[in-house]
Structure 1
Amino acid sequence: MKTDAQKIQDLKTVVIYSSLGVGTATGLFFLVRHFYKKSQTNRSEKHSLEEGDPAAYAKQLKMAFDNDNYMGWGTNEEAVTKVFEELPTRKMYERVQKEYFRMYNKSLNADLEEELSSDEYNNLIRLLNAKK
């Protein structure tokens, strides 16, 4: 029969190994998740060079937000509008949203609202709603 001290020691051992197991499993989960997301981003980046691909539109929009104009500030609204004019359908826009999130881990709609004035944003929505 085990003494109380041995039972406490056994319980401590179980708790320590259980904690190590949970920590290791959590670490592995996040490591696998990181590499999966990285591979998805790389796939999207490769497709962003193909004209008409949702990843290409997503990249063009991000560049319009980031590269700004010749003075170095503000979003290139003309480039954003051009991308929306080139989108063939609303379904394609949904695919662009998914690719944008996959590539930049940000919401395209949130970035549009942040980068554009309300009038510019509303004009883009009108352009999008005019498509099939």
Structure 2
Amino acid sequence: MPSTSAPPPDGFSFKEKLQYTLLGFVVVGGSFLLGRSLIRKAVSTAEEKKTFEEGNPAAFAQQIRMALENNGWPGKDMPALRQVILTIPSIASFKKVINSYQRLYNRSLMLDLKSDLKTTEYNEVLAILSAKPARGSTARTPQLTLAQYQSWAQRLKAAFDITYGIFPGTDEKAIKAVFMEIPTQAAYRQLGIVYKALYGNELDSDLRSELEFWEYPSYMKIITDKPNA
């Protein structure tokens, strides 16, 4: 029996129209994703050119990424990362580094730091940043403010609290980094006061308990070799 239903006026069935509509979405969506990828690549390439400028936020961002990647070796290069963070002159500069990192790698710097570092290492980074001035584009020697003393104390506590798997440990390199920054013996004594106020313990006692007995004298020599005041 011949069909009595009339063909669609435009010659396409509903199923065919739906298929063409979905195909259109796929094409448009694919074009959008391709365009976005090309834009991101162009932005990254433009930012990459700035990494050759010493002190540029892009250079700092690249150095941080390299420290986290550690040349393909397991873990990260914490001494290199620490040095980069110390070199960034201010909070405003660090915010520019965050933005540059996003443009270079399409990733969040803070999330990468949080995921790649141990909690104590991440806390050390935050402690270093907490002592920086709000603004400024030139690195300067640490100013002996309360914020700086608190930063040193927090970094030492993080070094004492580090763990390696389930085993407690001590980050000797982090301790040495702090000791090298302390300018005088008087500043070290003041640091002890701030440390006790924050954590309720004597700094020297915690230091002795964390270091081997033969290590302690060499660390203290870093301090005693400094001017008294």
Q: 3-state SS of the aligned residue for 1:6?
A: coil
Q: Which runs of 5+ in 2 are unaligned?
A: 135-229
Matched, 1:48 2:51: yes
Matched, 1:28 2:34: no
Question: Which of 11, 18, 28 matches 2:14?
Answer: 11
Q: Which runs of 5+ in 1 are unaligned?
A: none
Measure how far apart 1:5 and its partner are.
5.0
% identical aligned pairs: 34
Aligned to 2:119: 118
Q: Which amino acid aligns with 1:10?
A: S
More helix as a share of residues:
1
After TM superposition, the score normalised by the length of structure 1 is: 0.83
How does 1:59-98 map onto structure 2 within 5 Å?
A: 59-67=62-70, 72-98=73-99
Aligned to 2:174: none
Measure how far apart 1:84 and its partner are.
1.0
Alignment check: 8 A CA contact 1:68 1:74 kept: no
Aligned to 1:58: 61
Greater Cα shift, 100-109 or 49-58: 100-109
Greater Cα shift, 37-46 or 103-112: 103-112
Measure how far apart 1:68 and its partner are.
5.3
Measure how far apart 1:90 and its partner are.
0.9
Q: Which amino acid aligns with 1:91?
A: A
After TM superposition, the score normalised by the length of structure 2 is: 0.50
Aligned to 1:127: 128
Aligned to 2:220: none
Deviations 1:24-83 (A, max 9, x none): 1111111110100010111111111111111111110111111259xx433111111111
Q: 3-state SS of the aligned residue for 1:119?
A: helix
Distance 2:59 2:94 in 1: 12
Distance 1:66 1:79 in 2: 11
Q: Considering only CA atoms, is the larger Rg found in Structure 1 or Structure 2?
A: 2
Pair 4,98 (structure 1): closer, same or farther in 2 beyond 3 Å = farther
Measure how far apart 1:104 and its partner are.
1.9
Pair 92,9 (structure 1): closer, same or farther in 2 beyond 3 Å = same
Highest RCO, 1 vs 2 (Cα 8 Å, sep ≥ 6): 1
How does 1:94-109 map onto structure 2 within 5 Å?
A: 94-109=95-110
Structure 1 runs (4+) greater than 6 angstroms displaced: none
Q: 3-state SS of the aligned residue for 1:44?
A: helix
Q: Which amino acid aligns with 1:35?
A: L
Q: 3-state SS of the aligned residue for 2:52?
A: coil
Measure how far apart 1:108 and its partner are.
1.4
Greater Cα shift, 32-41 or 47-56: 47-56
Distance 2:97 2:53 in 1: 13
Measure how far apart 1:98 and its partner are.
1.9
